[in-house]
Structure 1
Amino acid sequence: MANSILRSSRHIKLFHALSLFSLSLLIQRVSATEFKVGSSNGWAVPTDANAPSYNQWAEKNRFQIGDSLLFVYTPEKDSVLQVNKDDYTNCNTGQPIALFNDGHTSFKFNQSGPYYFISGIVESCLKNEKMVVVVLADRSGRLAPPSPPPSTETGPSQSPVETPAPVGEESPSPPSGASSMFVSFVVSSIGAFLGSSLLLVM
C-alpha cells in the first residue's frame, strides 16, 4: 500500500514537472516582441546628431526569432528595403531581397543571423537611414518552422525579389506567414499529452 502511494506521488510530481515545462515553452513563444524602429521619430533620416543611430538602437536590444520590427514612415516619401551586406554597405537599392512601401511595415524574424535594412531612397541611406539587426540563435533545441517558398506575387506593400547570397554569407529570408507560436503550442501540447500518458501507464 505504502509503495503504491509513493509511486503515485512520484507520478503526480513528474506530471506536474512535464506540464510546467510545456507551459514554459509556450510562454517563451507567446512573448514575442514588436520593436518600433526609431521610437517616436519612426523610420526617417536622422535629424538629431545627439540621438543614437539606428545601429546603436539595434545593439541595445535583444532580438529573437518570432520578434518583429515596426517601421513607420510616410509611404509617398520613403520605403524600407531588406538587402544583403554589400548592398547595405554601398546603399545599393537596385536588387533588394524585399521592398516595403506601405508606411506601416511589420517585419517578423523567422531565423537567426544578421538582417540588413536601408531606405529605398539612396540619399536617405547615405545620410544613415539604415540599420543592421542581429537576431539571436535559438538555443532551446527547437527549430523555427521552415520558410515557405518565395512568392511570385507582388502586392502594394511588399515586392520580394530573389537575389543570391554572396559567397560565405547566408541571407535571411523575407518574413514567413507561418505562426511559430502555433507550432510551439502544438509541440508543447503533444509533449504534455505523451508525458501524462506515460505516467498513467506506469
Structure 2
Amino acid sequence: MANTILRLKHHRKAFHALGLFSTLLLVMQRVGAFEFKVGEANGWTVPTDSNANTYNQWAEMKRFQIGDSLLFVYSADKDSVLQVNKEEYESCNSTSPTATFKDGHTSIKFDKNGPYYFISGVPENCKKNEKMVVVVMADRSNQSSTTNQTSSASPPSPSSSIENAPAPSPVTEIAPSTPSAESPTTPSGASSVFVSAIASIAAFAGSSMLLVL
C-alpha cells in the first residue's frame, strides 16, 4: 500500500513537471516574430529633414521576415497609412491604394516575402518623404540553406532588392492592436515548427500520465 501511494506521488510530480515544460515551450513559440515600431520614438510623421529618406534609412537597418509586423503610430485626425504599389509610391499617388489605415495605431503583419510600399495618406506629407519601402525576407521558421545564407548577409537596400522581389499580396485593413511596449522591437507571434512539435509531444506525454493515474 505504501509503495502504491509513493508511486502515485511520483506520477503526479512527473505530470506537473511535464505540464510546466509544455507551458514553457508554448511561450517560447511566441518569441520568433517581431513587431517593429516605424520611426521608433517619433512615430509615423513628416521627417525632420524632409529631403532625407529617413524611413528608408531606418528600414535598411532592420531585417524583416515573414511573420514580423510593422506598427505605425500617428495622429488619426491628421494622417494615415496607405499601402501602395511601386509606381504609386514613387509618384505619391494616393488615389487607389492597396489598403488604407486611419486608426492611428496600425499593425500590419507580413504574410509574404518581397517589397512592401507605404506612403502617407496626405500627399504633401508623402512628397516630404513620409513614405517607406520595406523588403521582407524569408520566414524565420524556414531553416533551409537559403535562409541561413540570407541571415549571414547584410540587409539589402530597397533600391537593390525591389526589382527582383515578388510583389506582395494585398493586405487587408487590420483592426487596431494593443499598444506595444516601449521597445520598438517586441515579440508578436509563433515561429518554430520544431518547438511546436516538442510541445505536442510533451502534451501527449502528460495525457498518457493521466491515464496511468
Q: Where does structure 1 lack aligned partners over 5 or more consecutive residues?
A: 1-22, 143-167, 195-202
The one of the two structures with greater contact order (alpha-carbon pairs below 8 A, sep at least 6) is: 2
The gaps in structure 2 that reach 5 residues or longer are: 1-24, 144-164, 176-187, 205-213
Contact 1:63 1:135 in 2 (8 A): yes
1:172 shift after superposition: 3.0
Correspondence for 2:61:
60
Q: Residues 117-132 of structure 1 correspond to what in structure 2 (within 5 A)?
A: 117-132=118-133
TM-score normalised by length of structure 2 = 0.57
Cα RMSD (Å): 3.7
Letter of the 1:63 counterpart: F
* Residue identity opposite 1:181 in structure 2: A
Cα distance, 1:140–1:72 mapped onto 2, change above 3 Å: closer
Q: Which runs of 4+ in 1 moved over 2 A?
A: 25-31, 48-52, 138-142, 168-173, 179-194
> How far does the alpha carbon of each residue in 1:60-108 deviate from its partner, in whole angstroms, 9 at most, with x for none?
0001111111111111110000111111111110111110000111111
Distance 1:91 1:43 in 2: 16
Name the counterpart of 1:172: 169
In structure 2, distance between residues paired with 1:26 and 1:54: 32
Q: CA deviation at 1:170?
A: 2.3
Report the Cα distance in structure 2 between the residues aligned to 1:117 and 1:110, rounded to whole angstroms: 16
Residue number in structure 2 paired with 1:181: 190
Give me the whole-angstrom Cα distance separating, in 2, the residues matched to 1:173 and 1:183: 25
- 1:108-133: CA deviations, max 9, x gaps? 11111110000001111011000000
2:111 alignment partner, SS class: coil
Q: Verify: 1:37 aligned to 2:46, yes or no.
A: no
Aligned residues: 150
Q: What letter corresponds to residue 60 of structure 2 in structure 1?
A: E
What is the SS of the residue equivalent to 1:76?
Answer: coil
Percent of pairs with identical residues: 59
Distance 1:140 1:74, change over 3 A: closer
